[in-house]
Amino acid sequence: MPEGGYQVDTGWLRMCADDCVSTSSAVRGQLGAADKAVESMRNAAPGWAFLGSLDEMSDRWEKLNKVVREELDRAAEEFRYSASNYDGHENWLERKWHEATDGWDDVLNYD
């Protein structure tokens, strides 16, 4: 973590959402590689007893992959929702500040 930590703002929250979406896409991409690996095992070991369990293993992998993607997609939605709320609160505070100061923006700018 950088010195002083991270600053949480709308940009950072949206970046986290984008990272979740990218990771979800990468996880989805593993399905094709898994299918190729299963097919390679089927072709390399015809007649072996363990081949019967490949369908079950593939099914479990697809279900796990789906759960991980759904969680990442949900997290992305939550990050975006938080960013929108953050924007909304900032806009509300700014509007109330301007109303309270009658548009006088330099109240705190005293040098």
Residues in the chain: 111
Are 65 and 27 in contact by the 8 Å Cβ rule? The answer is yes
Its pTM stands at: 0.69
Q: Looking at the predicted structure, is the pLDDT value of residue 12 above 80?
A: yes
User: In angstroms, rounded to a whole number, what is the distance separating the alpha carbons of residues 52 and 106?
Assistant: 75
pLDDT band at 4 (very low <50, low <70, confident <90, very high): low
For the chain, what are the domain ranges? Answer: 10-91
Are 35 and 58 in contact by the 8 Å Cβ rule? The answer is yes
21-48 pLDDT, tens digit per residue, is: 999 999 999 999 999 998 898 888 888 8
